Amino acid sequence: MQQADLISRIVSDVIKELNVSQTQLETVSQPHPAEYGIFPNMETAIAQAAHAQKQVARLSMATREKIIANIRKKTIENAGILSDMAVAETGMGNADHKRAKHKLLATKTPGTEDINTLAFSGDSGLTLVERGPFGVIGAITPCTNPSETVLCNTIGMLAAGNTVVFNPHPAAVRSSNYAVHLINQASFEAGGPDNIAVSTSHPTQETGNILFKHTDIQLLVVTGGPGVVTAALKSGKRAIGAGAGNPPVLVDDTADIKQAAVDIVAGATFDNNLPCIAEKGIIATTKIADELIHYLKQNGCYLAKPHEVEKLCMTVLEHNGNQVRLNRNCVGKSATELLKMINITTNTSDEIKCIIFEGDEDHILIREELMMPILGIVRATDVAEGIRIAVKLEQGHRHSVHMHSKNVDNLTRLGQEADTAIFVKNAPSYAALGFGGEGFCSFTIASRTGEGLTSARTFTKSRRCVMGDSLCIR
Ligand code: NAD
């Protein structure tokens, strides 16, 4: 008997003996979708990441790059699975746009090349300022860009020599943990250590709090809403806080109005308005407001009537006395889904991408960060008033503002007064992520703590290395 036949007979006998049906066997032998680097409790996850960091710290830069190259490759290969998984799990966003986000991060997130050494040489010798790892980073990730944030964070953190413990958003645990699984698979295949990124199977606020307090965590990197960023900043640890935004877009008299409409719709509808950088409200100077609305409608916007706006308010927000909060069932939904929720059925051939309405600067749907393709339009008498309203709507997050204008003085003034981490001019908001704009990609924009778009160098600490009197050979 051939060896293969023999093995097959033995296997079949064992199966019979164990009384395991073929279906059961297939179920058992399927790899769990997220197994590498996922631990049932947070303490074990941290211990494993701490162990792995000792190995990562000794890896050559070339090996770190080899692992990163494989993470990039796996991100591209799995972009479809990760995107479909996130939409199915969270009920939010657009799978095709999520695919594009994964491809973007795979190709434009900086790796080891981002880490530079500074040198001073002179009569007294040579001093180097090198960038070293923090060690083990604790990272909180959002449900809006779940696997994108996990993958993008890991590339930068690993490039800098760190390992990372994730506490993913509970609503996006499967997709986030599948990304962690792929990262460890990529490391294993590239000859790297296990557990370069880890996570827990049941993340909660409590497991997040363990990260905030654990002595083995040297840095916190928090991507999410205001509550979690504030909690991290109170932890007593060094924290990088990438918090909420509510980016307004200002269109003035000098803008290319037709192009502004195209760009605004593209930016505000990308992944159903989930990105923190996406246009969340429009301010238009009175002179061009009607023209802008005309082109917005031409580009797939539905202009809601006042009674429809009322219905939207009651649907997308939950009201409890004086308090309002987002109806999570509406976040990240498409414009047609939102219209259906208020009983408006549109002709499918119209292809509605975004809902627009006119309101004042205090309108609740303009003030709140909705993360839905709903854009309120506020009229401003002139550009000075437009800038004032834009700054007010940004609400001091110091995150993002956008503007369409050909007047450099107007652009400069908004930039100075808003003082945000991101200011996109004459392009869709996603140009800020390096999507159709120059520059690298990041899904963690440290608006609260001022690092701006984070990359590998953000996850390093500075070390000064001094040689007295020698090695200056000028
Ligand atoms: P979220 O704040 O609801 O959740 C983020 C994570 O924090 C989750 O894991 C959650 O369980 C945890 N969390 C919340 N409160 C906590 C606390 N007090 N202690 C410990 N953990 C806590 O955010 P989300 O809904 O997933 O994402 C949307 C928000 O994040 C928006 O406000 C958006 O603007 C912002 N965001 C910012 C960036 C950026 O780069 N600046 C990127 C993406 C999202």
Q: What is the pLDDT of residues 393-441, one digit of tens each?
A: 999 999 999 999 999 999 999 999 999 999 999 999 999 999 999 999 9
H or E stretch including 42?
helix 42-58
Q: What is the pLDDT of residue 16?
A: 44
Question: Token pair for residue 49?
Answer: 């990441």
- 20: pLDDT confidence band, cut at 50, 70 and 90? very low
Q: What is the pLDDT of residues 196-235, one digit of tens each?
A: 999 999 999 999 999 999 999 999 999 999 999 999 999 9
Average pLDDT, the chain: 93
Q: What is the pLDDT of residues 41-87, one digit of tens each?
A: 999 999 999 999 999 999 999 999 999 999 999 999 999 999 999 99
Q: What is the pLDDT of residue 32?
A: 42
Question: 146-159 and 95-108 helices cross at what angle (nearest 10)?
Answer: 10
Which residue minimizes the CA distance to atom 24 of ligand 1? 142
- 325: pLDDT confidence band, cut at 50, 70 and 90? very high
Calpha distance 39→199 (Å, rounded): 6
How many angstroms from the chain centroid is the CA of residue 211?
20
227 lines ligand 1 (CB under 6 A): yes
Give the mutation target among 175, 202, 210, 223 for probing the ligand 1 site: most ligand atoms within 8 A of CB.
Answer: 223
Q: What is the pLDDT of residue 321?
A: 86
Question: Token pair for residue 264?
Answer: 């605004």
Give 260's contacts (C-beta < 8 A, 6+ positions apart).
Answer: 251, 292, 295, 404, 426
> Closest ligand 1 atom to the C-alpha of 224?
30
Give the mutation target among 205, 206, 447 for probing the ligand 1 site: most ligand atoms within 8 A of CB.
Answer: 205
143 lines ligand 1 (CB under 6 A): yes
Q: What is the pLDDT of residue 2?
A: 46
Which residue minimizes the CA distance to atom 22 of ligand 1? 228
Q: Contact, 383 vs 285, CB < 8 A?
A: yes
244 lines ligand 1 (CB under 6 A): yes
369 lines ligand 1 (CB under 6 A): yes
Question: Token pair for residue 155?
Answer: 């590339």
**Cα of 228 from ligand 1 centre, angstroms:** 6
Which residue minimizes the CA distance to atom 7 of ligand 1? 228
Q: What is the pLDDT of residue 471?
A: 87
243 lines ligand 1 (CB under 6 A): yes
- pTM of this structure: 0.92
Q: What is the pLDDT of residue 342?
A: 96
Residue (of 133, 149, 173) closest to 39 by Cα position: 173
Which residue minimizes the CA distance to atom 23 of ligand 1? 224
200 lines ligand 1 (CB under 6 A): no
**Cα of 378 from ligand 1 centre, angstroms:** 28
**Helix/strand/coil (H/E/C) assignment for every residue in 50-105:** HHHHHHHHHCCHHHHHHHHHHHHHHHHHCHHHHHHHHHHHHCCCCHHHHHHHHHHH
pLDDT over 70 at 4, yes or no: no
140 lines ligand 1 (CB under 6 A): yes
**Cα of 28 from ligand 1 centre, angstroms:** 35
> Closest ligand 1 atom to the C-alpha of 145?
43
> Closest ligand 1 atom to the C-alpha of 276?
34
Give 197's contacts (C-beta < 8 A, 6+ positions apart).
Answer: 37, 49, 150, 154, 157, 158, 163, 164, 165, 166, 180, 183, 184
450 lines ligand 1 (CB under 6 A): no
> Closest ligand 1 atom to the C-alpha of 143?
26
